[in-house]
Structure 1
């Protein structure tokens, strides 16, 4: 799975002008299931993200996790993270997982974050979503479950 993690002061997602997810301080995680992802990839990625120390401590250093600050997570599916831009001007998305399994892995990822005690809001898999956020820092981190065993 691939994830783009943004530290935010607030974020929200709407579908057809209907608010479906909103958080204050925490993480906006754009996530994409990739072909070949194992069944345990969502839980492993969730644990890595939940423990990511990118929030400021009292000394101003990035030393706290989202749980440490009492933050929340907004999880939004984004198959375009699978973009292959090596050739031409039109990205290819053939490495993204098929929709049925991709949705299952996406939901497993959100559930894994919840199981770690984090408040989680989600987007709507496969929908045309509008995402608004205030990136804090800005802090944006790329993570791929294939980068670690």
Structure 2
């Protein structure tokens, strides 16, 4: 008599566990809005490409796929590095490589403001999982000064 009860309880537990396993845990949304030198910026998906929407609403297509995000500082705000009195921010994208690899392919692209104009660096690719706290050289090294 106890055996059917035990079997029923076990089956109910397994069904409950498999239902929980199927639920997706919500992940925090990637930062796609930021303020740079007092101006609002947005990152959008433009036909599968990461695109920067400037304060004047014009678009600047970046050399990486969507999704992408702004690189943040420890204060969770857009990280801005200044070099030669030029402010620079970073856009990044990271995706896991196919199993069994544990690595990621990360792309970084720096954007600087020179005389009211936003200029984009070449894209930098490497095998590391982001988002990360990138060194200042990652912000400056891909521009010609």
Normalising by structure 2, what TM-score?
0.29
| Max Rg structure | 2
Query: Which structure ranks higher in relative contact order (CA pairs < 8 Å, sequence separation ≥ 6)?
Result: 1
TM-score (ref. length: structure 1): 0.28
Q: Would you tell me which structure has more helix in proportion to its own residues? A: 1
